[in-house]
Every structure is written in C-alpha cells, then in structure tokens.
Structure 1
Amino acid sequence: MVHPTYAGCWLTEPIGNLVGLPVDQFNFMSSQFLGIFFGLFFHLKLQPPDTSPTLRHIYCLVVGLTTVWFCNGWETWHLVLQSSVCYVMMNTFPPQIMHMCVLIFSLGYLVAMCLYRYLLPEDMQFLDITFPCTVSVQKLSSLAFSITDSHRYKLDNNCLTDSQKKRVISKPPNLLHFFSYMFYFQGILAGPFTFYNDYIDFIDGRHITSRLETKDDDKKPLVDPKSISPLRVVFYKCVMLGVWVYLYLHVSSVLVPTSNNADADFIQRHTVFYRLGYMYVSMLCHRSKYFLTWTLADIVYNASGYGFNGLDGNGNAKWDMVTNIRVEKIETATSFKTFIDNWNIQTTRWLRYVCYERAPFLRTHLTYILSAVWHGVYPGFYCTFLSAIWFTLAGRKIRRNIRPHFQESAGMRALYEVLTWVGTQLPMAYIVLPFTYLNVAPFITFYNSVYWFFHVLVAVILLIPFDRKQARHPQDTTKTSTPQTEMTSSPGRLSNGNSQRNSTQDTS
C-alpha cells in the first residue's frame, strides 16, 4: 500500500486495487494511456495551419499541467519553482555563465529532492515529483546552453559543432512557449526529453515538412505532408507494448525475479556459472520494464503527430525521432557503445550536448558522473556508472588491439562477433544489476558471490600494455571508433533505477 503522504489523486485507489497496482503506479499508467487519446485528439483536431500555434501551445500546457497534478498533486509546485527560477536566470544572467548556473541550479534542486526521498522510510518511496524533475533538468539545461551558444556563435562562428549550431536559440522564449515546452503532456511524466527547437517545429507545423525531400525547382515536398499519418505505427507499438507488459508482469516478476541474484539461499544452492547465466536472463527480462515505459511514452508522442523522422529507403514514414530504445540493437549489441547508443537514446543526446562535446578533459568520466548525479543519490546508481567508466575504456582497448587479429577470414570475424556479444551482454547485465537493488548490501552480496569477476577482468585488460602498431593488422581497413563517437549515456536512464529514474536508469 502506498503511504498516505502520496500527494496524487486517491480517488482511483479502488480501481488500482482491482488491477493489482498501487495508486501511484495506477495513476502513472492511466495518465500515460489517457495521453494517447489526448494525443490523437490533438493530431486529428488541432492540426496546423487550421489551428494556431498559440492554441496548440495552450492545449499541450493545460493537459500537461493537469496530468502532473493528477499524479503528483501539490508537489507540482516543485516543477514550477525550478522552471521559474531558471527562466529568470536565462533572462538576467550574463550569457557567459548563465548556462552553467541553470545546469547547476536545476541539477542541485533535483539532487536535493532525491536526497530527501532517499532519507524517507521505504514505504514512503513511491512515484513522486522527482521523476518529472529529471526530465525538466534536461529541458532547462539544454535550452540554456542553446541560448549561450547563440552568443558564442556571434563572437566566433567556428566555435560550435554542427549539432550545437543546429540548436542555437537567439533569445529566451516568451512565457507561453517556455512553460508549454516545460509541461507539454507528451513527455511530462516519463519523457523522453526533446530539444526546444524540435518542439517548436512540431507546434508550428514544420515538424513533418522540414523532414520531407523537396523538388529542386519549386522546393515543394515530393510527398504530401497530409498523407503522413502516425496511426499505423501507433497500432504497431501498442502491440509491442502488450509484449513488454506480459514479459514484465509475468516472466520478469514471477519466473525470473532479479531478487534471486542476491538471495543467500539461491546463492548457496547454485554454482557461479549457473548464477551468471541466471543474472543475464533475469536482467534481460527486467529490461522489459523500461521497454514498457518508453514504448508507451513513444506512443503518446506519435499519437499526437510528434516523432516523424523522414522517409526510409522504401519511402515509408519513420516515426523514431523521439524513440528511446531500439530493442533489436540492444539485444544483439557486440560492444558497450552499441548497447548504450540504443538505450535511453534521448538522454544520451542530452549528455552529449551539455557535457561530452564541451568537457575539456576526461570526457567519458565526466559524462558518466553527470549521468549518475542526474539519476539520483542511490548507491546502486553510482556503482553502475563508476563501473561503466572502466568497462567502456576496456571495451575500446579490446576493439583497438584485439579486433584486427580476427579480420583475416569470415569464420574469424563470425567468431569475434560471438565472443564480443557474450563479452558485452554479460558484463552489461553485471554492472547494471545494482540498479535493481539501489542500496548497497544486496549488490555487494552478489558481487562477492561471483568474486567480482568482471571487475577483476577489466582491471587486467586496462593494465595490459598492448602495442598498438603490432595490434592493428595491415589488412584491416575498418575504422575503429574514436573517442568522439564513444560517448555513452548511462546504462539505465542507463537510465533510471526506479521506473523512471530511470538511464541505463529507472528510467535505469
């Protein structure tokens, strides 16, 4: 039972009891499902140019505020206060320091709330306002950096990367645009985060037309924008949503619960090899929790007409602009980079934009640390992200020095793919495991029971003095990943250790 201090709506508790969900989780899930219908109405009845951008802003803002109030009640004022202070900073602080002030304040506000949550008794740690606040930090900081980049660009038009130039904003938005962006209903509860420019393009009606190819003579789209409909992809993603619901509620929670990994009796009854295999299977099924949450959020975006990403090679519409996961690439990943690039994708984009591209040194280290702080204060988050730094560096070293020796034949390349798949999936499950416990004792128990095997292996790999010149095979012409492309999000909001606090991060 949810603690009576829960600030959201309690009128739905009887219905939640009927379906077996606490009132906080029922409110969250029902709000997301209702968001699909609000989105369909928005797409079908409030399309531009028939509907003005102002009315579209108001609709998104009002529905978003109502949604977050329904789930979080009076705690909504935290979002309003955090956003309002940052808006004042954007309009008054010198641009040279404004972006960092906004990032520090918004992140510090989130950490303070997470610390308060962490110190509460376990029965009071329900879905609260800290989950929407993680997304608001991304919006506020990215908007502030985009405004500062405008001033930097005026001084030196070569100082920005291509992605930074794309996001430049000449001045702070007006109040309606700002609060509409902060509270739009499609991403207010679970994200995923989107950049301000993309949101404004969506509201103004440029979201689809700007991504369609045009004729050279009159610049008219080759495809009629009105023919682009999200209904088919919404239906498909609803089917996939049912799969993730089944995997999480039946398979993950009942057949292979992650709690067994740290259970003393389970550890005593099974060998290390069996438990490592169980660890992989249990974490694979546990990921369905995040697949469920992010697929549902993606459906809400697409239902409202947001998420179009151009046409594929066959001329079919792609609706993956705000997609947060690519399941097939995650489960077949043969490197940490591939895994993380396809997990909590929008958080990865944010981390790259505000940290990785701008860090003066130790880019990977600072990016993982920022991701850990953004996720909250639970020890499990920090164990995962600090471990991920060294596992990522070890993975790069293996690719640079070992891969060239497996390029002489198709058989050797296939063997390398199999070995790297195992060497990615098992260690990833191993370092993300603390997200399922959050607190120290359970994951320390598990790590002790497997003798910290992968940590020791990574330490050995990092200490081996490979000779790069000898390692690179003369016939290997394949480009290896550069540090510029190796940025990672967090394995849980990799993204969040609680359903939304989610990186790799519930929102794990």
Structure 2
Amino acid sequence: MAYTHFHLQFFAEYDPAIIDISGAQMILVLKLSAFGWSVHDGKQPIDSLSSYNRSRAIHEHPNLLPFIGYTFFYASLLTGPAFDYADYDNFIHSTLFDDVPEDKRPGKKRKRRIPKSGKQAFKKLLQGVFWAILLFQVPKLVNTEFVFSKEFVTNHKFLYRIFYMWLLGFLYRLKYYTIWLIAEGACILCGIGYNGYDAETHEFKWNRVQNVDPVAFELGQNVHTCLEAWNQNTNKWLKHYIYLRVAKKGKKPGFKSTVFTFATSAFWHGTRPGYYLTFVVGAFLQTVGKLYRRNIRPRFLQDDGVTPKPTKRIYDFVSWVSTQLAFGFVVQPFVILDFKKSLLCWQTVHYWLLVVIAGTFFIYRGPFAKYFTIKRSETKLKSTAQVKPSTLNPNLTKEENNLVTNAVENKLEKSYHMPTLGVPSLDHLQNLDKDEIDEELQDLKHAWNSFKSRNFLADDDFDGLKDAYSNFTKEINEMFDHTREEFSKQKDKMEKTN
C-alpha cells in the first residue's frame, strides 16, 4: 500500500481510465492487520484481554481457503467495509444466526439459517442510487477548477465562496456514500451484515458492517459527530488495533497512543501533503468545537445542564451551519492533494477558518480566558450528576464506593474521547506526562486494600485472598455495568433532547 501511495504521488500521471488499486489495498491493510492481532490475542491468557479482544481472538489458525475467502470477500473487496475474521468465521459456519427465533426463519418445510434480507439490501441499494444520481447532477453546479479561476474571486462575494466550498465538500462525499451504501447492501444480502434480533421491536438488525451514516453526517452539529458517522469501520480499527494497542498494559492511552493513531490514519490515507493539511486543521477544529460546547452551549441550557432553553434551537442551527461550512474548508486539500494548490484554494476565502481557530484559542486559551470560560468543575458537576448511580453497593463502605465509582466513571468518560478517525483534539496533545500515574488504578488499589483489611485477610492466606478478590471484582463489574447503563440512558436522553 505504501509503495502504491508513493508511486502514484511521484511516478505516475493521474489517468481516470486506469483503476486505482490503492483503495482495495487500504481495505486489505485493515483486514490483515486486524487478523494478525486476532491471532496474537488467541495466544494470550484470556484474563489479559478486553471483552472486545476476547470476542475477536483466533485460537486456531484457519486453513488457506477460509483465510483467502475472508481476505478477498467479494461483497466488500474493492471499497470495504472491512470486518474482523471472527465475523466471517461465524458467517460461513452460520453461528452468526444462532439467535434467530425459529418462527422467524424463512422456509416452510426446511428452515433456513439466514433471515430474509432482500428488502433491507434493496433499501441500501436505493440509497446508493440516490446519492449516485446526485453525484452526476451536482458537478453541473460546482467544480474544483472554478475555485482557481479569477472569476471566482472577482465576481463573487466572500459568503458565496465559502458556501461554494461547502457544496464542493458535499460533492466529494457523494461517491463515498454511493459505493459504501451499495457495498453494505451486498453484505446484508449475503447475510454477513446481520447483527442480531431485537426481541422488543421484533426486528432484525443489519448494521454489523455499516460504514457510513450520510444523514448523521450532513446534519451533524459538531466535528466529532460527523467523523463518527464517517468510515465507521476504519474508526473501529484505529481504536482497537492502534490506539489501545500502543498504550502499555495497565495504563490509559495517552500522548503516544494519540500520535501513533494520528500518524497511522494519515499515512493509511496516503502520502500527499493535502491529507496532512486536512488532518492537522481537523485536530485544531475538534478542540475549537470542544471549547464552544464547553463554554457557549451551557448558556442555552437550564440549570440542570440538560433541559434546553427556547433559544437552544438557534444554537443548534448556528452549530450545524458553522460545522458544515468548516468541513467545506477543511476537506479541500484532501481532494486537491497538492500543497501549493491547497493553500491557494484556502486563500480565495482568506483562510477564514484558520482565523476563526486562532481567534478562538486567543479567547479561551489566551490572557483573557478567565473572562470568557465557564469553570470546568461546574459544567462537569452538572453532567456527572446525571449519571451518578442511584444506589450504592452495600458490600463496600462509603469511601470504597466513592473510590470505585470515580474510577469507573472516569473510565467510561474516556471511552468517548478516543480520537475519531485518528484526528485528535489538541486536548490529547497538551499537559501530558509520560510518567503520569493512572489515578483510576490507584483508586481501585486503595479500595481493594480497604476491602481486604475489613475481611481480616493476611497476604499468605491464598484461598481467602482469591475468594475475596473474586467478590471484589464482582462488585466492581456490577457497578461498571450499572454505571454504563446510566451513561447510555443519559446519552440517549441528550440525543432526544438535541
């Protein structure tokens, strides 16, 4: 893949009549590297793996035929989406469909394992066709070459130019919407897109290999939301096979994990300067979004930090417009690729987003920041108040409950801060210490020592320690599951409110 990237950049002239194989190679990199890690995990003690890694682990290396079948799986070979070998193995052995109720299986005399998926696949196909039609119509309105003409600057005002770039960015996304949705439809049709049966709604879920959510992206009110809706399986790969792997065992992912994820994502996309311009500005943009959300959004909410004021609709609309316009600016180098031409493109709109970013940092990180910022402790108190467990664990003292609860909540909160698609917020890159102590582990250690001492256990009482530790971890797991459920409910509530 790296050879192809370099070759296309330095030794080849772009020819639209020649198929670019780098896309298929990028998918193979995702699948083969994930496969390698899964084989590695299959050789590790089960207790040392996370629940995700345990579910992906390969304990017996497959033969050549299933390996090649996975690697060159026809439905997603050229465009993705990528998926782990465990999903493919469950698919070809039909264990993926074990939870399908007997009365929901197709066939009268001979029941089939794979549920009917024709309608769901056809919906994806129609969505892909819809975006394909737009893909052929939008170029009649906008094109990249016009940005570099004198007429673009001399005959059109500034607002027209930034909205023109927004429409260009929309045009760039259309081809991805088209190919990804059609590929998802192919995966659903063959069955590997199956993701379980919902007993409450009595419906099947077909989003196992979903790669994009066009509506969520186009209506996204912040950078993080948009990136989470884009190239979703690549984001999973970066998280589970780069970000978390770089961190040392027992340590939370920090500066090193963030930098490695950022560099891997950028290099995976290619070696052209335009990719790096987009990624660097995207990192700044995520931080700007956090600063606004932290210091402006609370002013449009009631004192509980959740209930919106009537003026919240104005905030939402402005957030949506500004986010979409910002993406129109940021993605231009990603398509133009050339460094000088990318800067020239930005120059036609006076580098407006870079000016906004610099101004935002001056306001919220400069010498007068105290006059504009809302104290973090106050806003965090409001948000965490919504997810405090309703009951304390009766088997732990009040102090032990507080220690474990704080550790669990901090751990859950961090799961929302992984750099999406490798584009980190600058918060990840500052105030970091390589020797920083993992406070959550320290809290759990103190809670364990307290729990152990209350049970009058000596260090040489192996059986007693083993039983006590088993009970202690059981209490933590129960609190973790309960708190995670509270986080999930709160997140759903905020999404409905928004």
Other-structure match for 1:241: 128
> Shift of the alpha carbon at 1:419?
2.4
CA distance in structure 2 between the partners assigned to 1:171 and 1:468 by the alignment: 53
Other-structure match for 2:327: 428
Q: Deviations over 1:407-441 (max 9, x none)?
A: 12431332222222123211122111212212223
> Shift of the alpha carbon at 1:461?
2.8
Other-structure match for 2:33: 141
Is the CA contact (8 Å cut-off) linking 1:340 and 1:490 kept in structure 2? no
Q: Does 1:488 align with 2:377?
A: no
Q: Does 1:328 align with 2:220?
A: no
- Among residues 63, 70, 73, which one is paired with 1:181 in the alignment? 70
CA distance in structure 2 between the partners assigned to 1:421 and 1:399 by the alignment: 13
CA distance in structure 1 between the partners assigned to 2:290 and 2:258 by the alignment: 12
SS in structure 2 of the partner of residue 322 of structure 1: coil
SS in structure 1 of the partner of residue 76 of structure 2: coil
Which structure would you say has the larger Rg?
2
Q: Does 1:120 align with 2:1?
A: no
> Shift of the alpha carbon at 1:469?
3.4
Other-structure match for 2:86: 197
Shift of the 405–141 alpha-carbon distance from structure 1 to 2, 3 Å rule, reads: same
> Shift of the alpha carbon at 1:165?
2.3
Query: Residues 32-51 of structure 1 correspond to what in structure 2 (within 5 A)?
Result: none
Q: Which amino acid aligns with 2:33?
A: S
CA distance in structure 1 between the partners assigned to 2:222 and 2:386 by the alignment: 15
- Please report the RMSD computed on the Cα atoms of aligned residues, expressed in angstroms: 2.6
Shift of the 474–207 alpha-carbon distance from structure 1 to 2, 3 Å rule, reads: closer
SS in structure 1 of the partner of residue 310 of structure 2: helix
SS in structure 2 of the partner of residue 410 of structure 1: coil
> Shift of the alpha carbon at 1:207?
2.0
Other-structure match for 1:284: 170
Aligned length: 370
Q: Does 1:439 align with 2:328?
A: no
CA distance in structure 1 between the partners assigned to 2:297 and 2:260 by the alignment: 27
Q: Which amino acid aligns with 2:21?
A: I
Q: Which amino acid aligns with 2:2?
A: V
SS in structure 2 of the partner of residue 306 of structure 1: coil
Q: Deviations over 1:103-158 (max 9, x none)?
A: xxxxxxx112210121234245732332211111101111111222233435xx1x
SS in structure 1 of the partner of residue 75 of structure 2: coil
Note the residue ranges of structure 2 that are not aligned, 5 or more in a row: 107-111, 248-253, 303-307, 366-372, 388-409, 424-498
Is the CA contact (8 Å cut-off) linking 1:364 and 1:389 kept in structure 2? no
Q: Does 1:393 align with 2:300?
A: no
Q: Which amino acid aligns with 2:127?
A: M
Q: Deviations over 1:353-375 (max 9, x none)?
A: 11222343234443232111001
Other-structure match for 1:208: 97
Shift of the 236–444 alpha-carbon distance from structure 1 to 2, 3 Å rule, reads: same
Shift of the 482–461 alpha-carbon distance from structure 1 to 2, 3 Å rule, reads: farther
Other-structure match for 1:374: 268
Shift of the 359–273 alpha-carbon distance from structure 1 to 2, 3 Å rule, reads: farther
> Shift of the alpha carbon at 1:343?
0.7
Q: Does 1:163 align with 2:49?
A: no
Is the CA contact (8 Å cut-off) linking 1:262 and 1:443 kept in structure 2? no
Other-structure match for 1:34: none
Q: Which amino acid aligns with 2:10?
A: L
SS in structure 1 of the partner of residue 57 of structure 2: coil
Other-structure match for 1:316: 203
CA distance in structure 2 between the partners assigned to 1:275 and 1:187 by the alignment: 37
What TM-score does the superposition give when structure 1 sets the normalisation length?
0.67
Note the residue ranges of structure 1 that are not aligned, 5 or more in a row: 1-109, 213-219, 492-508
Query: Residues 300-315 of structure 1 correspond to what in structure 2 (within 5 A)?
Result: 300-312=186-198, 313-315=200-202
Other-structure match for 1:130: 22
Other-structure match for 2:486: none
Query: Residues 263-282 of structure 1 correspond to what in structure 2 (within 5 A)?
Result: 263-282=149-168
Shift of the 180–467 alpha-carbon distance from structure 1 to 2, 3 Å rule, reads: same
Q: Deviations over 1:222-251 (max 9, x none)?
A: 743747211111222222222112100122
State which drifts further: 426-435 or 402-411. Answer: 402-411
SS in structure 1 of the partner of residue 66 of structure 2: helix
Is the CA contact (8 Å cut-off) linking 2:144 and 2:168 kept in structure 1? yes
